[in-house]
């Protein structure tokens, strides 16, 4: 492994306590809404109460008459000022792009669609005035369900997307699948609904824009996972502000889970309004606004057909999915149900023929985009839920069916039937370890004994793979991404040897200030406190693609590592010059350069740093200073994998599910900080389990969101969950010098299927073969006690 270039270093792999915690536990974190600027004004949005309507007239006269109201601005005002629609960042051939304006012009397409904005002296005046803006609508029939939207005669969401089709996308060899299905011993078929979710980062979205007329510069504080992407798209495509006159700062951000990747209407409006009015303008979402306007996740309706030979070997897989993308296409929306979904359909299995067919639909609902895992949880659920359905139909133990189909360890690099080439993997040890740690035979014996006594335990497995560390730029470019997905890392050594790192990754809970400092301290032999990690500010960091897709360590960390090698190399040449030795004779360990074989001939890293800046005595032709920049462009995705096992008990009298145990065995390659990785895993498992059991956004047929607050959307609480058990295998990734893989999404990717499988396993004595999520008490009770006994 390439993590240590010096002996004795041990910071990588250590559970170092987090540097950033001090400010968070003392109330000194600085989130966007905590920033207040002189002369600040406040925005409140007027939003559509209709899912599909024509705007006839907007009368702002009463609002404008309120004392303290500075302006009421509409979509027509923005359009007249030359503000463009917000573009999606990923395109497919034939894709129908509906115009996504920050403030609606002429029509609204979902409840919550912003129609106008009030700018006022206080938040309460702005809110009161927004209530006085009178908008006259003509309401039209709406459609919220994607399958319904694709049916003949459905209400039309956008005039330029006939039949509400955004695109149809296919991957794999359909003819090979047809042939294999025809010759198969058995074909298992299952319809699956992967319900819509709402991210619910606990910090609501917020933005604060400040236009400085003297410098003609706009500064935007915003809850963003990728401030440079915000600057690029808002500046170059929406607002027409050159990047050198536009600074985007994402300070402390209170969770993202994907929902803070995208360029939202409100931040575009706030930025434009500040420049228009010459005042700072702040907007902070209420939670009700978050439910209506944060991009949602998932929302697939899928038919899976899995064909087997008589040995229980999968011979073909056919997946047909309808994906609901909501009313508009946000940044990654076209990629999520396609390249982040269909490409994962081989899972850990050797499946010779796979075909995936995805039709994406517009509906009169909030836009749908990446939510933790983004496509990969949907793929894993489709595959792993079907594996359990198949195991029961074939009369095989679910663990045994999985084992029979695993890709063999000597088959890597393994070319799947769905485009991805897995560079590395060794799946059976993770399965063995998980089964041993849970003591699988004992749990099955307990289950059998319990059933005889009237208790219903269920055991659910999920063997997952994910492709993360997004992403090789040339590959994603060829697949429709409008930008590459590399990352930058600057290492700036100061004359005293202290270190400033400028990273394009962004932490909104991941702990980069600690983990990235661990990498630096190990490589340079300094302490973690000697290192400052700067992120989230386009005014300080040269460029960055941000944090999502479990990419910070594998891409941002690798960029940082590259720059560390460059400064060490220059330091070595300076030290050699000072020590009057050849550079190749100088080694570096424990923060000191020394001549090989003469450990007393030494220069500390700080001495070399000072020499680089004093520049009195440098090698000929060497520039002063000690700083390096690296843009790391990965050659492939990284491929974490693992096996998770959930054990549940179902109370058949009430339908209530208790998640009793949850075990995760994961392979994240080398781990920089096990404490932080475990923490990421815990949170991910909770989110995935919550999809299986509690969460689900529901619309009525008019496009009204019925689950529009934390009172009626089932977020997990402390009392719902057990302590999680975690363990690992280690197969380092070959595509980055740290040997790391992403760990931020694995918990969510694996756990939904594990928990759902456990519940359905518990319900097998009742003849219930499948239920769609969330597996609420009402749904389970009805299945047990209802007339049809399940579906």
Q: Please, what is the minimum distance in Å from the beta carbon of residue 289 to other proteins?
A: 9
Q: Please, what is the minimum distance in Å from the beta carbon of residue 168 to other proteins?
A: 34
Question: What is the Cα–Cα distance from 711 to 291, expressed in whole angstroms?
Answer: 12
Of residues 113 and 514, the one with the C-beta less far from other proteins: 514
Residues sharing a CB contact under 8 Å with residue 109, sequence separation 6 or more, in sequence order? 51, 52, 98, 157, 158, 327, 328, 362, 364
Place of tokens 């012009």: 105
Question: Would you state the structure tokens that stand for residue 21, as one six-digit string?
Answer: 């915690």
Of residues 68 and 155, the one with the C-beta less far from other proteins: 68
Of residues 510 and 609, the one with the C-beta less far from other proteins: 510
Asked if residues 27 and 94 have their Cβ atoms less than 8 Å apart, the reply is: no
Of residues 17 and 474, the one with the C-beta less far from other proteins: 17
Residues sharing a CB contact under 8 Å with residue 323, sequence separation 6 or more, in sequence order? 146, 299, 300, 336, 337, 358, 359, 360, 361, 368
Question: What is the Cα–Cα distance from 579 to 534, expressed in whole angstroms?
Answer: 33
Q: Where are the beta strands (DSSP E) in 65-174?
A: 69-74, 107-108, 114-120, 134-139, 165-172
DSSP string spanning 342-363?
GGGTTTTB--S-EEEEEEEE--
The sign one gets for the Cα dihedral 239, 244, 249, 255 is positive
Place of tokens 């923490």: 679
Q: Please, what is the minimum distance in Å from the beta carbon of residue 39 to other proteins?
A: 15
DSSP letter for 155, please: P
Query: Angle at Cα 743 formed by Cα 741 and Cα 748, nearest 5°?
Result: 135
Residue 305 host element (H or E) = strand 296-308
Of residues 513 and 523, the one with the C-beta less far from other proteins: 513
Query: Angle at Cα 375 formed by Cα 370 and Cα 380, nearest 5°?
Result: 140
Rg (the chain; Cα; Å): 27
Of residues 30 and 191, the one with the C-beta less far from other proteins: 30
Q: Give the interface with other proteins as residue ranges (CB under 8 A).
A: 15, 17-18, 20-31, 33-34, 36, 124, 199-204, 252-255, 257, 284, 286-288, 508-511, 674-676, 678-680, 682-687, 709-711, 715-719, 721, 723-724, 747
Question: What is the Cα–Cα distance from 277 to 394, expressed in whole angstroms?
Answer: 68
Question: What is the Cα–Cα distance from 212 to 529, expressed in whole angstroms?
Answer: 35
Q: Please, what is the minimum distance in Å from the beta carbon of residue 621 to other proteins?
A: 47
Q: Please, what is the minimum distance in Å from the beta carbon of residue 664 to other proteins?
A: 11
Question: What is the Cα–Cα distance from 536 to 529, expressed in whole angstroms?
Answer: 20
Question: What is the Cα–Cα distance from 298 to 258, expressed in whole angstroms?
Answer: 12
Of residues 158 and 508, the one with the C-beta less far from other proteins: 508
Largest CA-CA distance found in the chain, in angstroms, rounded: 89
The residues facing 707 across adjacent strands are none
Of residues 52 and 547, the one with the C-beta less far from other proteins: 547
Place of tokens 């029509």: 107
Q: Please, what is the minimum distance in Å from the beta carbon of residue 727 to other proteins?
A: 11
Q: Please, what is the minimum distance in Å from the beta carbon of residue 757 to other proteins?
A: 19
Of residues 345 and 659, the one with the C-beta less far from other proteins: 659
Question: What is the Cα–Cα distance from 2 to 557, expressed in whole angstroms?
Answer: 13
Which candidate, 317, 316, 324, 320, places its Cα nearest to that of 302? 320
Q: Please, what is the minimum distance in Å from the beta carbon of residue 195 to other proteins?
A: 18
Residue 403 host element (H or E) = helix 398-405
Burial of residue 706 (number of CB atoms within 10 Å: 0-12, 13-18, 19+)? exposed
Residue 532 host element (H or E) = strand 531-534
Q: Please, what is the minimum distance in Å from the beta carbon of residue 710 to other proteins?
A: 4
Of residues 204 and 742, the one with the C-beta less far from other proteins: 204
Q: Please, what is the minimum distance in Å from the beta carbon of residue 211 to other proteins?
A: 23
**Chain-centroid distance, C-alpha 540:** 24
Of residues 488 and 752, the one with the C-beta less far from other proteins: 752
Q: Please, what is the minimum distance in Å from the beta carbon of residue 200 to other proteins?
A: 6
Of residues 76 and 710, the one with the C-beta less far from other proteins: 710
Give alpha helix (H) positions in 163-282.
Answer: 174-182, 227-231, 265-277
39 φ/ψ angles, rounded to the nearest 5 degrees? 75, 15
**3 state DSSP class of 322:** strand
585 φ/ψ angles, rounded to the nearest 5 degrees? -95, 0
Residue 563 host element (H or E) = helix 558-579
Q: Please, what is the minimum distance in Å from the beta carbon of residue 675 to other proteins?
A: 5
Question: What is the Cα–Cα distance from 618 to 599, expressed in whole angstroms?
Answer: 22
Residue 601 host element (H or E) = strand 598-604
Q: Please, what is the minimum distance in Å from the beta carbon of residue 105 to other proteins?
A: 29
Of residues 484 and 679, the one with the C-beta less far from other proteins: 679
Q: Please, what is the minimum distance in Å from the beta carbon of residue 259 to other proteins?
A: 10
Of residues 28 and 785, the one with the C-beta less far from other proteins: 28
Of residues 513 and 587, the one with the C-beta less far from other proteins: 513
Q: Please, what is the minimum distance in Å from the beta carbon of residue 507 to other proteins?
A: 8
Q: Please, what is the minimum distance in Å from the beta carbon of residue 718 to other proteins?
A: 4
Question: Would you state the structure tokens that stand for residue 333, as one six-digit string?
Answer: 């929306």
**Would you report the helix, strand and coil content of the chain in percent, each value rounded to 5?**
30, 25, 40
Q: Please, what is the minimum distance in Å from the beta carbon of residue 658 to other proteins?
A: 12
Of residues 367 and 683, the one with the C-beta less far from other proteins: 683
Of residues 23 and 474, the one with the C-beta less far from other proteins: 23
Place of tokens 């700083």: 627
């Amino acid at each position: 492994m390439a993590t240590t270039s010096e002996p004795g270093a041990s910071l990588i792999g250590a559970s170092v306590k987090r540097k950033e915690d001090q400010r968070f536990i003392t109330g000194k974190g600085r989130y966007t809404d905590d920033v207040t600027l002189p002369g600040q004004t406040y925005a409140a949005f007027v939003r559509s109460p209709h899912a599909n309507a024509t705007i006839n007239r907007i009368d702002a006269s009463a609002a404008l008459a309120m004392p303290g109201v500075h302006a009421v601005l509409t979509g027509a005002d923005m359009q007249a000022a030359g503000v463009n629609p917000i573009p999606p960042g990923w395109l497919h051939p034939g894709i129908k792009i509906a115009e996504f304006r920050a403030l609606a012009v002429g029509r609204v397409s979902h409840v919550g669609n912003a129609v106008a904005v009030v700018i006022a002296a206080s938040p309460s005046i702005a809110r009161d005035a927004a209530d006085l803006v009178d908008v006259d609508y003509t309401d039209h029939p709406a459609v919220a369900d994607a399958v319904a939207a694709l049916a003949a005669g459905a209400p039309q969401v956008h005039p330029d997307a006939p039949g509400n089709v955004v695109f149809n996308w296919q991957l794999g060899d359909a003819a090979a699948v047809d042939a294999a299905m025809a010759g198969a011993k058995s074909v298992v078929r299952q319809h699956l609904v992967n319900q819509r979710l709402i991210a619910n980062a606990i910090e609501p979205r917020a933005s604060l824009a400040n236009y400085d007329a003297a410098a003609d510069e706009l500064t935007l504080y915003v809850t963003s996972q990728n401030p440079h992407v915000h600057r690029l798209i808002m500046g170059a495509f929406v607002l027409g502000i050159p990047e050198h006159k536009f600074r985007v700062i994402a300070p402390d951000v209170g969770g993202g889970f994907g929902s803070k990747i995208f360029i939202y209407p409100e931040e575009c409006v706030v930025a434009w309004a500040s420049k228009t009015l010459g005042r700072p303008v702040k907007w902070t979402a209420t939670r009700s606004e978050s439910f209506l306007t944060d991009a949602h996740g998932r929302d697939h309706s899928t038919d899976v057909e899995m064909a087997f030979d008589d040995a229980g070997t999968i011979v073909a897989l056919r997946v047909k999915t309808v994906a609901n993308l909501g009313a508009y296409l946000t940044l990654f929306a076209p990629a999520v149900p396609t390249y982040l979904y269909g490409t994962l359909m081989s899972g850990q299995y050797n499946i010779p023929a796979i075909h995936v067919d995805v039709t994406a639909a517009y509906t009169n609902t909030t836009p749908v985009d990446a939510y933790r895992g983004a496509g990969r949880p949907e793929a894993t659920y489709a595959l792993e839920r079907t594996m359990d359905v198949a195991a029961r139909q074939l009369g095989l133990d679910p663990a045994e069916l999985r084992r029979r189909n695993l890709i063999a360890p000597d088959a890597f690099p393994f070319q799947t039937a769905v485009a991805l080439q897995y560079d590395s993997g060794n799946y059976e040890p993770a399965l063995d370890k998980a089964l041993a740690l849970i003591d699988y035979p004992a749990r099955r014996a307990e289950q059998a004994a319990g059933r005889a006594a009237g208790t219903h335990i269920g055991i659910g497995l999920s063997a997952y793979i994910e492709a993360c560390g997004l992403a090789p730029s040339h590959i994603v470019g060829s697949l429709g991404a409008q930008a590459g997905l590399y990352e930058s890392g600057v290492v700036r050594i100061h004359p005293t040897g202290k270190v400033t790192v400028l990273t394009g990754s962004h932490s909104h809970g991941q702990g980069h200030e600690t983990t990235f400092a661990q990498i630096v301290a190990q490589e340079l032999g300094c302490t973690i406190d000697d290192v400052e990690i700067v992120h989230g500010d386009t005014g300080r960091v040269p460029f960055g693609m941000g944090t999502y897709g479990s990419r910070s360590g594998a891409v941002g960390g690798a960029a940082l590592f590259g720059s560390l090698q460059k400064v060490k190399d220059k330091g070595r040449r300076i030290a050699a010059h000072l020590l009057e030795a050849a550079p190749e004779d100088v080694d570096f360990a424990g923060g000191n350069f020394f001549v090989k074989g003469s450990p007393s001939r030494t220069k500390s890293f700080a001495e070399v740093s000072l020499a680089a800046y004093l520049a009195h005595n440098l090698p000929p032709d060497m520039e002063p200073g000690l700083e390096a920049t690296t843009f790391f462009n990965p050659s492939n995705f990284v491929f974490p994998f693992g096996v998770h096992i959930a054990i549940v008990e179902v109370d058949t009298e009430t339908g209530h599910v208790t998640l009793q145990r949850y075990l995760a065995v994961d392979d994240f390659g080398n781990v920089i900080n096990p404490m932080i990785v475990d923490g990421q895993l815990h949170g991910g498992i909770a989110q995935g389990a919550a999809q299986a059991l509690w969460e689900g956004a529901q619309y009525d047929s008019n496009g009204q969101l019925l689950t529009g607050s934390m009172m009626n959307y089932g977020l997990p609480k402390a009392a719902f969950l057990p302590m999680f058990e975690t363990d690992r295998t280690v197969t380092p990734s070959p595509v980055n010098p740290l040997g790391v893989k992403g760990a931020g999404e694995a918990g969510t990717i694996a756990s939904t299927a594990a928990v759902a499988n456990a519940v359905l396993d518990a319900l097998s004595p009742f003849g219930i073969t499948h239920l769609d999520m969330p597996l609420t008490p009402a749904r389970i009770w009805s299945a047990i006690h209802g007339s049809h006994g399940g579906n």
